[in-house]
Amino acid sequence: MTQHDSGHKEILRDEKGQQTEVFIYRDIILPGSFPDWFDPVQKLKSIKDFPFRQGDVLQCAFPKSGNHWLTNILTFMMSNKPLEMVSSVNPSLIELSSPTERLNAKPSPRVIASHLKFEYLPDDHFKKAGKVILIVRNPKDVAVSFYHHGYKDTRLNIRLSWETYLKYFCEGKIPFGSYFDYLNHWQEVLEQRKDLNIHVVYYEDLQQKTLHECKRLQKYLGVYNTDERLQRIISRCSFSSLKSDVDSGKVKTIMRDRNNKPYLYRKGEIGDWQNHFTVAQNESFEEIIQAKLKDSIFKFQYTSVIPQSRL
């Protein structure tokens, strides 16, 4: 364990000696390289003090819950320009951006994304009734997607076996902590702060009923697109289209894989967890879901068993 003026680093190890470094400050777990980019005290203060701009949308989600995809859908939905003049974007995570530079340089309306809990988010946004969207995704698919992303992303650098990683995921020791605690935290906010009018989007619904969910989103945001324009937006923001933009270099991202190639999207599928979980892992994970989320208002739509083809 390495001490830091405002937090400390810890090493996570697997059975083969591979390891991943995380940085812990207060109750926040971040990639181990975080203090090399920002001073955590100043960073959190700058986030809390970040000024609201009319039209801002704060998009909240645990990693790999659909942040990048939804940011692009919202960007296209809120634009008054002809769709041919709108470009796909790389989302701006407020905790991994410089608020006085990149975010302030963005034109309105801005979509500002974050993996942080409510208590660390900009006060001004809530005081001025800014729009807030919370994305919720099946925890099993989140676990799988984050594992692959962290293994490729040189900043996260999750070099652990799947078995060890899944154990740490369940214990909430990976970067950004426990997904179960994250959902329970937001449940408390939703139940106690009705004045905030937070809009919840399920990743699975957005995948399976995209037009319907886009209509719900635009009603919440107070914008309007015809069904024909929405269908064009959905096509433009398809997974394959957004992935092509990043892979080709059309959309710039600081995320790089171990071959220094841009990396952002992998599959985006529902149910990919079934290709990774063993029967024992699935049974254990189901028990954790029942224990951690037994009174959850979030209802996940997914098959809870391993397909026969893998037994």
Q: What is the pLDDT of residues 183-242, one digit of tens each?
A: 999 999 999 998 998 999 999 999 999 999 999 999 999 999 999 999 999 998 887 777
Q: Where are the domains of the chain?
A: 51-310
How many angstroms separate the Cα of 279 from the Cα of each of 14, 205, 290, 293? 21, 26, 17, 21
Q: Check whether 17 has a pLDDT greater than 50.
A: yes
Query: pLDDT: is 211 or 299 the higher one?
Result: 211
| Distance separating alpha carbons of residues 307 and 159, to the nearest angstrom | 28
Residue 249, burial from CB neighbour count under 10 angstroms (0-12, 13-18, 19+)? exposed
pLDDT for res 2: 45
Element (H, E) at 31: strand 28-31
Fold of 51-310: Rossmann fold (3.40.50)
Q: What is the pLDDT of residue 149?
A: 81
The answer, yes or no, to whether the previous bond of 175 is cis (omega within 30 of 0) is no
155 — pLDDT class (breaks 50, 70, 90) = confident
Q: How far, in Å, CA of 130 to CA of 114, rounded?
A: 15
pLDDT over 60 at 310, yes or no: no
**Which of 113, 59, 65, 61 is CA-nearest to residue 268?**
65
